[in-house]
Amino acid sequence: KAKEMGRNKIRLFDPDLRAQIDRKVRLETDLQQAIERDELMLHYQPQVDLQSGRIVGLEALLRWRHPELGEIAPAEFIPLAEEMGLIMPIGAWVIQEACKQNKAWQQAGFPLIRVAVNLSPKQLNHPGLVDFVAGCLSATALDPACLELEFTESASMDDPNTIIPLMHQLKKLGVSLSIDDFGTGYSNMKYLKNFPIDKLKLDGSFVREITTDPRSLAIADAIIAMSHHLGLKVVAEMTETDAQIMLLIARACDQAQGYYFSKPVPAEQCARLLQMGCLPLPTSGKPVLRTL
Ligand code: C2E
Ligand code: MG
Ligand code: MG
Ligand code: MG
């Protein structure tokens, strides 16, 4: 008995676990005020056309600069926000901020660009989403074609009876729709066929191995071919190397996003990328064509 209690005690006071719990409680408390305290910001990562090197889009990625704990990754705080019912105000802030920033770039004279915003599965169930997006577009007078909304594959497939009508309503506003991290969820082709979407984002887990694992390449090839037959564009995520980009070009992938071109950067730095208009594609060597 005493031994058991001792064991429980050890578990209760495990310092790592304690620290994890403390951090979670702290983040949960502080997240509630993060918007008011102006601690949230968006970084932007370019999406590059693989024919021309032109920047054709940006993905807005949320950052939380905690005054004491430093930068917290979205992978850590988005799940907390969802758990705590804070994803609606935070998600709304993201959409609004992305629209405002995009309008500001346009007013500064940059050519029209599309900014993509990630939607959390929880936001999709909120009845006010379509009106909110419409409101942001009209408040900023942003051309709806300049806003893209990224749905996760799993959220879209989970509840297609809700998601398909929602997608149609959003499409009616004129915004562009994409499926994020494609290939990692459990895609149902019957639903995919009926989604009124514009592009698929080929998940980074395939891209990472595309030059080393013929199986990853086979899947990437199949996704690219399927997308094109469905009239969709494909964006490869997490492209980091020359070899990956060259292979994706050889395989007719439309666009790429990743550290190869740029990390996600704050708006001011992004303006400099937009000023350049194009980012360099790999020049040396022949495209790596692999035979399976
Ligand atoms: P995601 O939408 O798939 O975004 C891509 C993630 O990959 C980003 O991580 C980006 O910084 C990272 N990345 C881009 N290029 C490379 C690369 O070449 N190599 C590597 N290793 N990583 C790369 P981040 O910003 O940490 O965001 C992680 C996830 O958090 C996002 O995945 C998205 O699901 C979620 N997220 C970010 N911002 C928001 C937001 O505003 N709302 C919602 N609901 N989710 C968000
Ligand atoms: Mg995304
Ligand atoms: Mg993604
Ligand atoms: Mg991803």
User: Among all ligands shown, which has an atom nearest to the Cα of 263?
Assistant: 1
Look at residue 14 in the predicted model and tell me its pLDDT: 81
Look at residue 291 in the predicted model and tell me its pLDDT: 47
Q: What's the rounded Cα separation, in Å, for the pair 231 and 215?
A: 24
Q: Which atom of ligand 1 is nearest to the CA of 181?
A: 3
Which residues are found with C-beta within 5 Å of the ion, ligand 4?
181
CB 176 within 8 A of CB 145: yes
ipTM here:
0.98
Look at residue 7 in the predicted model and tell me its pLDDT: 57
Look at residue 289 in the predicted model and tell me its pLDDT: 53
Residue with the two structure tokens 């850590």: 76
Look at residue 38 in the predicted model and tell me its pLDDT: 96
Query: Residue 181 Cα, ligand 4 centroid: separation in angstroms?
Result: 5
For residue 114, which of 126, 105, 122 has the smallest C-alpha distance? 105
Query: Residue 118 Cα, ligand 3 centroid: separation in angstroms?
Result: 9
Residue stretches of the chain with pLDDT short of 70: 1-12, 284-292
User: Among all ligands shown, which has an atom nearest to the Cα of 45?
Assistant: 1
What DSSP state is assigned to residue 54? B
User: Among all ligands shown, which has an atom nearest to the Cα of 178?
Assistant: 2
Q: How many helices (H) and strands (E) would you count in the chain?
A: 13, 10
Look at residue 283 in the predicted model and tell me its pLDDT: 85
The residue whose CA has the least distance to atom 33 of ligand 1 is: 118
For residue 281, which of 256, 252, 263 has the smallest C-alpha distance? 256
DSSP 104-144: HHHHTTPPP-EEEEE--HHHHT-TTHHHHHHHHHHHHT--G
Which residues are found with C-beta within 5 Å of the ion, ligand 3?
180-181, 237
The residue whose CA has the least distance to atom 3 of ligand 1 is: 181
Look at residue 292 in the predicted model and tell me its pLDDT: 44
The residue whose CA has the least distance to atom 8 of ligand 1 is: 61
